[in-house]
Amino acid sequence: METASALPAPAAQPAVRQNPLDRLIVALDFPCTDAAMGLVDQLQGVSRWFKVGMELYYAAGNQVVERLLDRGFQVFLDLKLHDIPNTVAGGVRSAACAGASLLTIHASGGEPMMRAAAQAAARPNSPELLAVTVLTSMDQAELNATGVSGTPADQALRLARLARAAGIHGLVCSAEEVAALREVMGASARLVVPGIRPASTASDDQSRIATPADAIARGASMLVVGRPITQAENPARAAAAILAEIDSAL
């Protein structure tokens, strides 16, 4: 009796090349819409994502988010919600109306608060939640002064575990912690890293910083870059250089 010959193994599919534009978020840390949109005009073709933080959102509200969305950009709404669970859940539901893709809450608000936020974000068209671990401006001495013992890495790991237990699948952390947090959160988690400084730029008020290539190599999903682009003599050229550095690490 003839036996069927073994079928050849399927050819390996080539890995899809990641687009650096999907990894860079430019921080629009401006006091008004006109200033923010003026920078956006300069970054056509070198930025797909923009961060709207507290300074701009408190001044312009959803109007600036709508303008960015109308022009085809994606928005990271960085409001760092931190309050009692019911209030934060309400904040998440209200923020969903803005149409942003990402929204931050503070992991230090605790598991019940994060769980309430996650439940609120389960509705259709809600933004993906990112839990902020330890601010990149804080070093160990500053963290310890708030009553938290241990290192920023210890605290970030503790908060990451709380976030995962609460149903949050993304974090904001420094590059120093991203590899350890990737192990806790899994390969599919979105780990967003601020405090990015190309080697030739000043650290400003950031303590735990990294270059774009280093942060990506350590496992960052996306990078948030503000002043190295927004205060550059040529913002588009600065953004393009960071994209090239990200590309070199992919």
- Positive or negative, the CA dihedral 103, 106, 107, 109 is negative
pLDDT of residue 14: 46
pLDDT of residue 137: 87
Could you tell me which of 232, 199, 203 has the C-alpha nearest to residue 213?
Answer: 199
pLDDT of residue 213: 94
For residue 131 the two structure tokens come to: 């839990």
Q: Which residues contact 5 (CB under 8 A, 6 or more apart)?
A: none
pLDDT of residue 4: 44
Hey, how many other C-beta atoms are within 10 angstroms of the C-beta on 183? 11
Q: Is 4 helix (H, G, I), strand (E, B) or coil?
A: coil
Are residues 144 and 93 in contact, defined by beta-carbon separation less than 8 angstroms? no
Are residues 96 and 135 in contact, defined by beta-carbon separation less than 8 angstroms? no
**Strand spans (E) along 38-149:** 49-53, 74-81, 102-106, 128-132
- Counted residue by residue, the chain has a size of 250
Tens-place pLDDT, residues 164-190: 999 999 999 999 999 999 999 999 999
Could you tell me which of 212, 114, 240 has the C-alpha nearest to residue 166?
Answer: 114
Q: Which residues of the chain have pLDDT under 70?
A: 1-17, 200-208
Q: Up-side HSE of residue 56: CA atoms within 13 Å toward CB?
A: 24
- Positive or negative, the CA dihedral 214, 215, 216, 217 is positive
pLDDT of residue 8: 47
Tens-place pLDDT, residues 95-141: 999 999 999 999 999 999 999 999 999 999 999 999 999 998 888 99
Active site residues: 80
Burial class (CB in 10 A: 0-12, 13-18, 19+), 14: exposed
Cα separation, 248 vs 77, in Å, equals 28
For residue 7 the two structure tokens come to: 């079928």
CATH entry 3.20.20.70 includes domain 20-249? yes
Q: For residue 171, what is the enclosing H or E element?
A: strand 170-172
